[in-house]
Amino acid sequence: MRNAFIKSLHTIAKKDPNVILLTADNGAIVFDDFRKECPDQFINCGISETTMVSVAAGLASSGKIPFIYTIIPFLVMRTFEFIRNDICMHQLNVKIVGIGGGMRYSTLGPTHHALEDIALMRALPCMTVVCPADPTETGKVTNAIYDHPGPVYLRMGTTKEDAVYEKEYDYRLGRAVVLRDGSDVTLIGAGSVLKEVVAAAEELARQGISARVINMHTVKPLDQESVCRAARETQAVLTVEEHNLDGGLGESVAAALAENHVGTVRFGRCGIRNNFCSGFGSHAHMKAKHGLGVADIVNKAAGLIRGNNR
């Protein structure tokens, strides 16, 4: 995802001198081509993320389109007050690009996990929150948020994410994508965990359960129409997110169902249940350890069909 973002932004920046990329002293080598071809559009703010946010706000106030980029815990949690006051209160056109979504930095421990960021960014007025599923979608998202006025939070993994999309498709901010149709249960996911969600749908099919898969790449604003249609057309809805369940995708979907009076569908959530994730290992290991493996999704979905929503 990181490389897809950089490649897409590089292409945009060569055409638009108002695009400025700011980093916090990370990933220097991967930006070599960008710095070489667009030297006046790259600023390394050093390990001072709060300063980077305020510099971006100043640039946006001057008509520039800044993209600020670094690891999520340092970009979102450390600088939250500055994002709130400097960017969102003034509805500035700043793009906040965080890498390492969920437990992607699985070998660095809970200080580098990003499991509360969607909740924080969702709570901010005027903020759009986007979680692409794979590198292909990341490229599309980068172009879409460049065209979108106002603050945007782009939540990515890092590198070597598996492909979810195998063919071309139409991408629009705020419009969910149905990856797989189904009539028994709807699985709604966001971000790179979609790979596990699709695999779970395939396993459910082998068990005789037809699962619809929705990629809710834009968490805010949520595509309520797709959510409600799925709830009316299938028996159950299960959200899957590599994030704390408090304040995440599942809560947003549940609110949409309640506010639109879709009250008969069985509903469940897969995610991190109000804790910090201990342990170290591969990304796949950490997801499986904390209830986000394919088997976990399958069991939860099958349980909903059977009437067990715990």
Question: Residue 187: beta bridge partners?
Answer: 213, 238
Alpha-carbon gap, residue 65 to 40, rounded angstroms: 13
Q: Which two tokens stand for residue 243?
A: 């994030």
Residue 255 has phi, psi (to 5 degrees) of -65, -40
Q: Do residues 90 and 127 make contact, with C-beta atoms less than 8 angstroms apart?
A: no
Q: Which two tokens stand for residue 150?
A: 């106002």
> In the annotation, is 49 catalytic?
yes
Break the chain down into helix, strand, coil percent, rounded to 5: 40, 20, 40
Contacts of 209 (CB under 8 A, 6+ apart): 184, 185, 301, 302, 305
| Total H helices, total E strands in the chain | 12, 12
Query: How many Cβ atoms from other residues are within 10 Å of residue 220's Cβ?
Result: 18
Please pick, among 49, 161, 196, 241, the residue that the annotation labels catalytic: 49
Residues annotated catalytic, as ranges: 49
